[in-house]
Structure 1
Amino acid sequence: MSTELYDALLYLEKEKGIERNLIIEAIEAALVSAYKRNFNQAQNVRVDLNLETGTMRVFARKEVVEEVFDSRLEISMADAREINPAYELGDIVELEVTPKDFGRIAAQTAKQVVTQRVREAERGIIYSEFIDREEDIMTGIVQRQDSRFIYVSLGKIEALLPLSEQMPNESYKPHDRIKVYITKVERTTKGPQIFVSRTHPGLLKRLFEIEVPEIFDGSVEIRSVAREAGDRSKISVYAENPEIDPVGACVGPKGSRVQAIVNELKGEKIDIVKWSEDPVEFVANALSPSKVVDVQVNEEAKATTVVVPDYQLSLAIGKRGQNARLAAKLTGWKIDIKSETDAREEGVYPRENISAASEEAEDTKSVKDEDAYDFFSEEIE
């Protein structure tokens, strides 16, 4: 047995990263409990596990006293000095009390301890690996589902995809390969538990990082994401280098880069807009694919009034207000959209001092970005 145990400890130390001494200490502590339980002993004992000789010995530990009140824990001075004349009061005497059939019990206990420690170590390794991957994307394989979760295999562990995090336009079947976003990693008594999502805005951001090299290397930056999963999303991008077109980089040649993301998200429409620190330009861009003729800003209320051509009003608002709602989430500004006719009647348009930024935003929407959005935009009847 000693050789097998010794080899097992070497393997665990090398492959699992579990220190040999820690396992030996755990086995010795477990053997003490096993001895007391199986032999109805309440005395203070110590187990010595010697891997080199293959021996397991149990020693009762007793304190040297003048008068013995509990023979299980104490030994008289006279009896102690018969063992060794050097003993003094207060010393601890160890007497071997190893039972004859203790080897069988020891083997069972050692196996249980090693198995438990291996399980704990594996759980710790998995937790350490996945806690660093929170807010990251992974490819998993659908295993099964119940009324609350879809179980997705991530290799070493199954992740939980809650019903609320599943895309409404998707159906999941066993063995389907899907990309998921890791939202939370928890340590529980049953091991690490990993929660993933298909609807989180972070999934869209990570997909762009994978598909667009300019985002991965930092030359193009994603500033904000607004998403209604399975239907439509907006993403704002920025490049510090004026020679780089951030929108064009994300769209890719003939729309190939963004199309790959659209396919992964089962047809979810994606608007890519240019970020700007000027709210006039940013809000105008965010309302793509509609054209904007004026943006009026209220800094204190963090609100804007946007004027669009009459024929563009329904497109600017979108189905059930979706385009305007996503633009507001993307920019962080409240957006009130008015047609030119209504704005004129209310006296808020035209203004004599329409900002140059507003005119530039209109030109940008009508010339530079129009082709990029035609591929993804949805005309509203």
Structure 2
Amino acid sequence: MNAEILAVLEYWEREKGIPREELIKILSDSLLASAKRAVGPARELRCAIDPKTGDIKAFARLVVVQKVLSKHDQISLFDARRIKPDAQIGEEIEVEVTPAGFGRIASQYARQSLTQHLRKAEKKMVYEEYKDRVGELLTGTVRRFERSDVYVDLGRCEALLPNRERVPNEDFQMGDRILCYVKAVQETPRGPEIILSRADPEFVIKLFKREVSEINDGTIEIKAIAREPGFRTKIAVYTRDPKVDPVGACVGLRGARVRNIVRELNNEKVDIIPWDPNIRNLITNALNPARIKSFEIDEARRRVKIWVSEDQLSLAIGRRGQNARLTSRLTGWEVDIEAEAAPPTGGFEEKVAQAIETLAAIPGISREMADALVHGGLTSLEDVLQAGESYLASLDRVGEQAGAIMQAAREEASRRQIKLGETTAA
């Protein structure tokens, strides 16, 4: 049985990380009840386990007397001096009282109690380890499913990714490696429960902090964020350093930084906009690239009414009202968008074709690129410049070509300004 005890201790020490000294103490406490049953009501009974051999022994502190009246509390002077030659009457000495076969009996009796103690110790260690990790990003492996909840193996414990914290269009398989945000660590009757999330806006913020060093060191601040998980996120950034472009830093060289974030979010669209304390400018940035005609601001009710041209209405509102809804959440103001009546002009298809031809005439922008830009709501050079590289990168059929398109647009704008200056001078 000693070998069995040692094997159990080694398993828990190796697999669960519980120190051998703590395991010995837990096992000693578990065996004490067994010893009381086997030995009887001995005075100050305790159990000891040899950590090397696994031998179990029971000890009691007995009082040395001339004549023993209670064998559970006293020991005769003659017997005491066989253990301790200088023992005196009235002195307390520790005596081994291990009964025959106690190791086998105690091991059987204590096995269940030991398991319970070890589970409690393991749960306590898990809670102590993770209670201060709320707000961190952790990578784990999908282990099992219960209804729509996902249980993720973090190595030493399991964490829960509830259905409410999942992104609707994400589907996981057993064994998938996933990155999650630690939303909470709770004590429950069953032990500590680690709640993970991939739908929380803080998950996106943590991804930006990981990818964008300027956010991590405080050069750039994330002022506000609004998210519809799996579909679109708007994030407003700001910096006090005039030498730093907050949007450009978040996008990265050729969109590398934001592309890594979008990949982790399974191609969720991410709009990065510059923060502005002026609500007009902030809403204009948030609704970009839609062009706004006029504002009506009700500061008392924190409500803004916006008028746009009819051809810009769908772009401003977004699919199923998503763009307007996210803008409202981002700014904290209620945003109403209406179309301004416009005089009838040529047909829609004619307008689209004309816009494509206009953009394709710009050196460096191919007809295919122009078609992608127009179908993304950008119908003029001014629209492209105002939209910015991060929006271009999110358009279908543009992607990595966003940087080249922006460069071509800037060069064309520069050329047009020069020509305008020459005409004015003449």
Same fold (TM over 0.5): yes
Coordinate RMSD, CA, aligned = 3.9
* Aligned-pair CA distance for 1:203: 1.5
Identity %: 38
- Equivalent residues of 1:294, 1:308 under 8 A apart: yes
* Cα distance change of structure 1 residues 195 and 171 upon mapping to structure 2, 3 Å threshold: same
Provide the secondary structure at the position in 2 that maps to 1:99: coil
* Aligned-pair CA distance for 1:296: 3.5
Give me the whole-angstrom Cα distance separating, in 2, the residues matched to 1:193 and 1:35.
36
- 1:146 to 2:159 alignment: no
After superposition, the C-alpha distances for 1:163-213 in whole angstroms (9 at most, x for unaligned) are 222222222122222222222222345443222222111121122222222
* Cα distance change of structure 1 residues 326 and 61 upon mapping to structure 2, 3 Å threshold: farther
* Aligned-pair CA distance for 1:154: 2.0
After superposition, the C-alpha distances for 1:246-267 in whole angstroms (9 at most, x for unaligned) are 1111122222222222222222
Give me the whole-angstrom Cα distance separating, in 1, the residues matched to 2:29 and 2:146.
42
- Matched residue, 1:201: 201
Provide the secondary structure at the position in 2 that maps to 1:300: coil
- Matched residue, 1:59: 60
- Matched residue, 1:339: 339
* Aligned-pair CA distance for 1:16: 4.2
* Aligned-pair CA distance for 1:113: 6.4
- Matched residue, 1:46: 45
Provide the secondary structure at the position in 2 that maps to 1:293: strand
* Aligned-pair CA distance for 1:281: 1.2
Give me the whole-angstrom Cα distance separating, in 2, the residues matched to 1:177 and 1:205.
20
* Cα distance change of structure 1 residues 254 and 31 upon mapping to structure 2, 3 Å threshold: closer
- Equivalent residues of 2:30, 2:114 under 8 A apart: no
After superposition, the C-alpha distances for 1:335-379 in whole angstroms (9 at most, x for unaligned) are 12233449xxxxxxxxxxxxxxxxxxxxx987444443233269x
* Cα distance change of structure 1 residues 113 and 237 upon mapping to structure 2, 3 Å threshold: same
- Equivalent residues of 1:305, 1:336 under 8 A apart: yes
* Cα distance change of structure 1 residues 281 and 58 upon mapping to structure 2, 3 Å threshold: same
1:157-306 map, 5 Å? 157-306=157-306
- Equivalent residues of 2:57, 2:96 under 8 A apart: no
- Matched residue, 2:136: 136
* Cα distance change of structure 1 residues 46 and 235 upon mapping to structure 2, 3 Å threshold: same
After superposition, the C-alpha distances for 1:222-255 in whole angstroms (9 at most, x for unaligned) are 1221111111111111111112111111122222
- Matched residue, 2:352: none
After superposition, the C-alpha distances for 1:128-167 in whole angstroms (9 at most, x for unaligned) are 3322222222222222323131222222222222222222
Give me the whole-angstrom Cα distance separating, in 2, the residues matched to 1:37 and 1:43.
10
Give me the whole-angstrom Cα distance separating, in 2, the residues matched to 1:204 and 1:198.
8
Q: Give the unaligned 5+ runs of structure 2.
A: 81-86, 343-381, 397-426
Picking from 392, 395, 401, the partner of 1:374 is: 392
Give me the whole-angstrom Cα distance separating, in 1, the residues matched to 2:238 and 2:244.
9
> Mean alpha-carbon deviation: is it higher for 25-34 or for 297-306?
25-34
The higher-RCO structure (CA 8 Å, 6+ apart) is 1
Give me the whole-angstrom Cα distance separating, in 2, the residues matched to 1:73 and 1:198.
63
> Mean alpha-carbon deviation: is it higher for 94-103 or for 141-150?
94-103
Give me the whole-angstrom Cα distance separating, in 2, the residues matched to 1:242 and 1:186.
43
1:80-119 map, 5 Å? 86-87=89-90, 97-108=97-108, 118-119=118-119
* Aligned-pair CA distance for 1:292: 2.2
Provide the secondary structure at the position in 1 that maps to 2:292: coil
- Equivalent residues of 1:123, 1:192 under 8 A apart: yes
TM-score by length of 1: 0.73
* Aligned-pair CA distance for 1:299: 2.4
Give me the whole-angstrom Cα distance separating, in 2, the residues matched to 1:98 and 1:156.
38
* Cα distance change of structure 1 residues 108 and 101 upon mapping to structure 2, 3 Å threshold: same
- Equivalent residues of 1:44, 1:73 under 8 A apart: yes
- Matched residue, 1:347: none
TM-score by length of 2: 0.67
> Mean alpha-carbon deviation: is it higher for 233-242 or for 108-117?
108-117
* Cα distance change of structure 1 residues 124 and 273 upon mapping to structure 2, 3 Å threshold: same
* Cα distance change of structure 1 residues 172 and 56 upon mapping to structure 2, 3 Å threshold: same
- Matched residue, 1:307: 307
* Cα distance change of structure 1 residues 289 and 139 upon mapping to structure 2, 3 Å threshold: farther
Give me the whole-angstrom Cα distance separating, in 2, the residues matched to 1:232 and 1:97.
73
* Aligned-pair CA distance for 1:86: 4.6
Give me the whole-angstrom Cα distance separating, in 1, the residues matched to 2:319 and 2:114.
61
1:359-370 map, 5 Å? 367-370=385-388
Query: What amino acid is the match of 1:374?
Result: L
1:312-327 map, 5 Å? 312-327=312-327
After superposition, the C-alpha distances for 1:39-94 in whole angstroms (9 at most, x for unaligned) are 6x4665512537499672343879x9xxx9xx79888xxx989989854xxx9898
- Matched residue, 2:328: 328
Give me the whole-angstrom Cα distance separating, in 2, the residues matched to 1:270 and 1:81.
86
Provide the secondary structure at the position in 1 that maps to 2:284: helix
- Equivalent residues of 2:287, 2:323 under 8 A apart: yes
- Matched residue, 2:356: none
- Matched residue, 2:33: 33
